[in-house]
Amino acid sequence: MIKRIILTILAIHLSITGALCVCPVSSVTPVKAIEAHAKTKFEPIKDYIYYGYTPTGFVISIKDELMFDECGELNDCGKMLLKVMAEIMKFSGRKWFILCHTTEGKTQVDRISRTSLRAGAITNYLTDIETCLINQIFPIGFGSIMPTKHKTEGHKALNNRVDFIIEEYTLNVN
């Protein structure tokens, strides 16, 4: 009987206690503040990064060549970029989608395999080395299914890229 009372009290206590389900911060950082922070941190390499908005959120696109070597392994520059991204992610209080895209490979199966491995490598680095929470990161390899329509200032479209996306369902229709 005492066991049931204690369990009931514990269940009531847990149900009314606020929880931080995504990451250990007390508030969600506004998207504009995340964008400003990212632009400040990535200023020296701004020619390799595109910032934009999708109909459902904010995206940071990074050229593939900046993160991976010719064998598809994270290079030193990619690790430094992920260190900065981890800092932004940890204190954002948001979930992040990591979407990898490429036009390299003979078939769509090759491209999806390549991008899935790269998305996994990024996730492993962020969780194992930079201690990001796994429930905050959602990696997906898209192959060449989702080409980009945006162009950076004077540069060709980023078809071989990694997108870091925060979804914010305000349906931005800019």
Of 161 and 159, which is predicted with more confidence? 161
CA dist 148 and 160 (Å) reads 10
pLDDT in tens, 93-137: 889 999 999 888 899 899 888 999 999 999 999 999 999 988 899
Q: Return the pLDDT at 19.
A: 42
Strand (E) or helix (H) holding 61: strand 57-63
Report the DSSP pairing between strands 49-54 and 57-63: antiparallel
Half-sphere exposure of 121 (CA within 13 A, CB side): 19
Backbone phi, psi, residue 58, to 5°:
-110, 140
Strand (E) or helix (H) holding 58: strand 57-63
By the 10 Å C-beta count (0-12 exposed, 13-18 middle, 19+ buried), 20 is classed as exposed
Q: Is the pLDDT of residue 28 over 70?
A: yes
